[in-house]
Amino acid sequence: MKIGITYDLRDDYQAAGFTDEATAEFDSPETIAAIEGALRALGFDTEPIGNIRMLAPRLVAGERWDLVFNIAEGLRGAGREAQIPALLEAWDIPFVFSDPLVLALTLHKGMTKHVIRDLGIPTPDFAVVETGADAEALQMAFPLFAKPVAEGTGKGITAASKISEQKQLVRVCSGLLAKFQQPVLVESFLPGREFTVGIIGTGVNAYVPAVMEVLFTKKAKQDIYSYANKEAWKGRIEYRPGKGEIAAAAANTALAAWRGLGCRDGGRIDLRADADGVPNFIEVNPLAGLRPGHSDLPILCDLAGVSYQELISGIVDSALKRL
């Protein structure tokens, strides 16, 4: 079986003048090599393809693959993560990870939380701020937490994201609106422990290989899982296997969210506990990073004794069930 690999290579965009933060979600050559090595070790033939601008002409020219391992995040637009899956669906080529509907929905954290809340899954109260006037008129109890509505890897999250009064809310929201040119998600800040839950599989076959607790050291910039803390996590963040009743509750909530949203094959869900110790859904990452030793999903699997190759195998096995 020949598996093509689609991705956005960070080096390509940085060479074109994009900043480190703008390209934070894109992949390194080492990540692509790790994925390709795992797939080859599993007995598949592989072919790196690249981003959507490299994929499109090859599709038009008639090239085909038995399966595409898609980790491309896309560059522009509210549906950027859904663009390559939509193209592959149009050419009737099966692919790994979630379909265009799920990827378009989950990129928008506000829309996703509407669905999560409708499913009865605990999630902090929230509002989507589209203008400075929205922020001035917002009536929610402090402390609050603000971040761009459609970014990952902690982009736009800093020590200022935790907000304690109205003037700060307006200032932070106005800054995020101007910088990221998209709405801002404002949520009630939860004071409890923070977890990220890895998931492999689809629907009733989905399972949790591991729950990981995120702990902040004295070197971390505030107690916030920010872009800066994620990018240089060693020394700032301590990752521990989640244990006990609260970790089990986090796993159950994550699975309910994963299945309710219709996510496929593998990914991550982030949760934070409220004042009563109940893990709440914060956000889902259906295109989780796969950089060994750096991205949360490989790290939490490693903590649980699940090798990188076993992780990739579980993801691909889930996708192959659809063929």
Stretch among 1-5, 18-22, 73-77, 143-147 having the lowest mean pLDDT: 18-22
pLDDT digits (tens, 9 = 90+) for 279-297: 999 999 999 999 999 999 9
- Left (φ > 0), alpha (ψ -120 to 50) or beta: where does 256 sit? alpha
> Which pair of structure tokens corresponds to residue 155?
């982009």
pTM: 0.94
> Which pair of structure tokens corresponds to residue 104?
């378009």
Helix residue spans in the chain (DSSP H): 10-15, 29-41, 52-60, 83-90, 100-107, 109-118, 132-137, 166-180, 227-231, 244-261, 296-303, 308-320
Q: What angle do CA 128, 131, 136 make, to 5 degrees?
A: 85
Mean pLDDT of 259-267: 98
pLDDT score of 222:
63
First-to-final CA distance of the chain: 12
Stretch among 24-33, 153-162, 302-311 having the lowest mean pLDDT: 153-162
pLDDT digits (tens, 9 = 90+) for 195-228: 999 999 999 999 999 999 999 887 776 667 776 7
| pLDDT over 90 percentage in the chain | 87
Q: What angle do CA 111, 159, 231 make, to 5 degrees?
A: 80
pLDDT score of 223:
65
Q: For tokens 């006037």, what's the residue? A: 133
What's the mean per-residue pLDDT of the chain? 95
Mean pLDDT of 87-103: 98
